[in-house]
Amino acid sequence: MPGLKKTIAVLPGDGIGPEIMRAAIALLSDCAATFGHQFEFREFPFGGTAIDRTGNPLPNETLAGCKSADAVLLAAIGGPQWDKLPLEKRPEAGLLRLRKELGLYINLRPVRPRPSLRNISPLKPERLSQTDIEIVRELAGDIYFGKHEKGGEGANAWARDVAEYSAAEVDRVARYAFERAESRKGKLTSVDKANVLSTSTLWRQTVTALGKKYPTIELEHMYVDNASMQILLKPDQFDVILTGNMFGDILSDEASALAGSIGLIPSMSRGKEGTPALYEPIHGSAPSLAGKDVACPIGMISSASLMLRESFGLETEAQWIEAGVDRVLDHGYRTMDISSPDSRVVRCSEFLEMVRGDVHDAATHTERYGWGV
């Protein structure tokens, strides 16, 4: 592939965000130098840090920067210092607004346990088997974006969150999920709560109707309570899981645990073809780890490689980054949160240096600074 020129909006956010973002940018820069691409990184304030600076989690300048970029890389937002703010002023509100403004209605979360990390999965190897799941979560509707209301006081206090879906909203995300399944094992599990919720009844009808256009796909429907159990009992029965915003939020955290840690899972959020997609790890800002250089950068790094593959069509480059991560893991190096008794624990920045260079050189570096090995 001839050299590409791309602009990437960078939102480091809060907590461990800036530390893990540094790792992703360093690897993307190496990748650009190695393969002859030009990536321009434009950094913008977002989340709690933006609230502190401007009073707004999504300043206009940040939104404009994201809209005009070829893709957006986000690390993580939020933290206890902003938890007391009303919902609509919190860092999370900025993320929801950004998703809405960029028209991001598809959220893809791949859960593919890495061979070298199978021992940190809470599941026995025979249950984990060949688990390789892609969760397609609807991202622009549901109870997240319906009216949120509250009133009254004391014993009379009340609150209401409205869940809403239109057939068109279900159809557009379901199309993507069917296509995704077509490019994989050809199985799609649509997850809902159609025995109780009207939105789920509409969801199931719409997905079933669309299924007629994809006769080669094996479509099944599953209630969300059962799905959450099946993910633990027999995760390798799934190929692509399609579900709504709220169920997708919950099931993707659950499924990430199969891989051993939520810190390992990347995501892509996208809208219409030709508009910038957003890539972020699915974990949060881990305030208790912030500033200590101990966070696991793999979810962030994998989000960068997902961006290369999905937004820029750079499959070889994406594999180049992933292979670097695997090589370091294969040598037994782990950040603290994904370590096991026989691992060599390294800092976030050391893990990065090992991915960037030769593992053994990095090990020498580690010895020199008295860390880990």
d(CA 355, CA 347): 12
Smallest separation, CB 362 to Mg ion (Å): 32
Token pair for 265? 């899972």
Q: Degrees (nearest 5) of the Cα angle 195, 196, 199?
A: 100
d(CA 142, CA 166): 9
> Is residue 220 within 8 Å of 230, Cβ to Cβ?
no
CB atoms within 10 A of CB 281: 29
Q: 206 or 252, CB closer to Mg ion?
A: 252
Which one among 31, 63, 72, 95 touches ligand IPM, defined by CB under 6 A?
95
Smallest separation, CB 249 to Mg ion (Å): 4
Q: 161 or 249, CB closer to Mg ion?
A: 249
Q: Tell me which of ligand IPM, Mg ion, none is bound by residue 164, counting a contact when its beta carbon lies within the kind-specific cut-off of 5 to 8 angstroms.
A: none
CB atoms within 10 A of CB 17: 29
| 236 belongs to the catalytic site | no
| 171 belongs to the catalytic site | no
Smallest separation, CB 363 to ligand IPM (Å): 35
Token pair for 97? 């607004």
Of 70, 161, 253, 293, the active-site residue reads 253
Which one among 73, 282, 301, 363 touches ligand IPM, defined by CB under 6 A?
282
The interface with Mg ion within residues 117-136 (CB under 5 A) comprises none
Smallest separation, CB 262 to Mg ion (Å): 9
> Is residue 203 within 8 Å of 194, Cβ to Cβ?
yes
- Fill in the amino acid letter for 180: R
Q: Does 182 engage in binding with Mg ion (CB under 5 A)? A: no
Q: 47 or 65, CB closer to ligand IPM?
A: 47
| 6 belongs to the catalytic site | no
Of 144, 165, 214, 333, the active-site residue reads 144
The interface with Mg ion within residues 215-254 (CB under 5 A) comprises 249
| 165 belongs to the catalytic site | no
Q: Tell me which of ligand IPM, Mg ion, none is bound by residue 268, counting a contact when its beta carbon lies within the kind-specific cut-off of 5 to 8 angstroms.
A: none
Which one among 14, 19, 92, 192 touches ligand IPM, defined by CB under 6 A?
92
Of 52, 225, 330, 358, the active-site residue reads 225
| 272 belongs to the catalytic site | no
Q: Which x/- pattern over 241-280 shows residues binding ligand IPM (rule: CB under 6 A)? A: --------x-------------------------------
Smallest separation, CB 161 to Mg ion (Å): 16
Q: 48 or 324, CB closer to Mg ion?
A: 48
Contact residues for ligand IPM, defined by CB under 6 A = 92, 95, 249, 282
* Residues annotated as catalytic (active site), given as ranges: 144, 193, 225, 249, 253
Contact residues for Mg ion, defined by CB under 5 A = 249
